[in-house]
Amino acid sequence: MEEPPPEYPRIPGHEVIGIVEELGTGSTKWKIGQRVGIGWHGGHNHVTGLTMDGGYAEYMVAFEDGLTSIPNEVSSKDAAPLMCAGETTFSALRNSKARPGDLVAISGIGELGHLAVQYAKKAGFQTVAISRGGDKEKLVRELGAHYYIDSEKEDPAQALKVLGGAKVILATAPNAKVISSLINGLGTDGELIIVAGSGEPLELSAMDFLKGPNTVRGTFTGQSKEIEAAVRFSVLTDVRPMIEVFPLERASEAYDKMMSAKTRFRAVLSISE
């Protein structure tokens, strides 16, 4: 039997922005010198995003279909987190049942959540931020949240019911218990959209679905067309990530800080720093 390809050596790093330096044979989509970005998927065969990510380096190889053009209005450092964190939350809300004026809640204010709050506000939703403790209240209100729910003080589902019930709840906090409990905060014909990557089983009864009736579904990060739409919307409405920039040499420190949830919010590696 053929040996599986070795996982190491491996260059990690997704959400990459760079300049096209060289074109492969037959490649016609891009010109040398264009600024482009790449998200989690590296192209339609899903190869580069997972096993050839390649962002922790000065050069990387990418499939032409996996790239998105980056407009001048956004810096490379600000554009990078839009490639996955931005696109995932933007598309989740854009493809949801929510329409302007509807109540939309974001559970978990981290790298994805702080962008989701901005997208929700800019899309014209009554925006609710749900976070543990009061630390992030001032910040999310500045980012556009109309309401703040401290999940350590009150049950978010009950608090959402008091507000009339959410049309959409976007779950970014990776905790199955937290995700399951949110369904009770939906209003009529509501939708619980899971982007959080939790492997634990959800605790949901058939009645939880029947009551609204409600929909529970997941959504996965998109490809270049969706990324392009997310970048365009971010430019049009001035949505930007909050970032902490580290030089490439400090990648390990950036990674540790990110894993201990101490960055506010996305850790960005810069080759030119």
Ligand X SMILES: NC(=O)c1ccc[n+]([C@@H]2O[C@H](COP(=O)([O-])OP(=O)(O)OC[C@H]3O[C@@H](n4cnc5c(N)ncnc54)[C@H](OP(=O)(O)O)[C@@H]3O)[C@@H](O)[C@H]2O)c1
Q: Pick the closer one to ligand X by CB: 24 or 197.
A: 197
Per CB under 6 A, 111 contacts ligand X: yes
Which one of residues 120, 196, 216, 230 is an interface residue with ligand X (CB under 6 A)? 196
Q: By rule CB under 6 A, what count of residues binds ligand X?
A: 25
205 burial via Cβ count (<10 Å: 0-12, 13-18, 19+): exposed
Question: Interhelix angle for 85-94 vs 224-237, to 10°?
Answer: 90
From candidates 109, 128, 170, 183, binder to ligand X by CB under 6 A: 109
- Contact segment (CB under 6 A) with ligand X among 45-53, 69-77, 202-210, 213-221 equals 213-221
Least distance (Å) between residue 50 CB and ligand X: 12
Site string for ligand X, 148-167 (x = CB under 6 A): --------------------
Residue 264 C-beta: closest distance to ligand X, Å: 9
User: How far, in Å, are 81, 116, 160, 247 from residue 265 at the CA level?
Assistant: 10, 12, 25, 16
Contact 104, 122 (CB under 8 A): no
Site for ligand X in 30-69 (CB under 6 A): none
C-alpha Rg value of the chain to the nearest Å: 19
261 binds ligand X (CB under 6 A): yes
Binding status of residue 131 toward ligand X by CB under 6 A: yes
175 or 270: CB nearest ligand X: 175
Contact letters (x/-) for ligand X, 216-255, by CB under 6 A?
---xxx----------------------------------
Q: With CB under 6 A as the contact rule, which of the stretches 26-34, 154-162, 174-182, 204-212 interacts with ligand X?
A: 174-182
| Interaction residues for ligand X, span 65-84 (CB under 6 A) | 84
Among 132, 161, 211, 232, binds ligand X (CB under 6 A): 132
Give the binding site for ligand X (CB under 6 A): 84-85, 88, 108-113, 131-132, 136, 172-175, 178, 195-197, 219-221, 261, 265
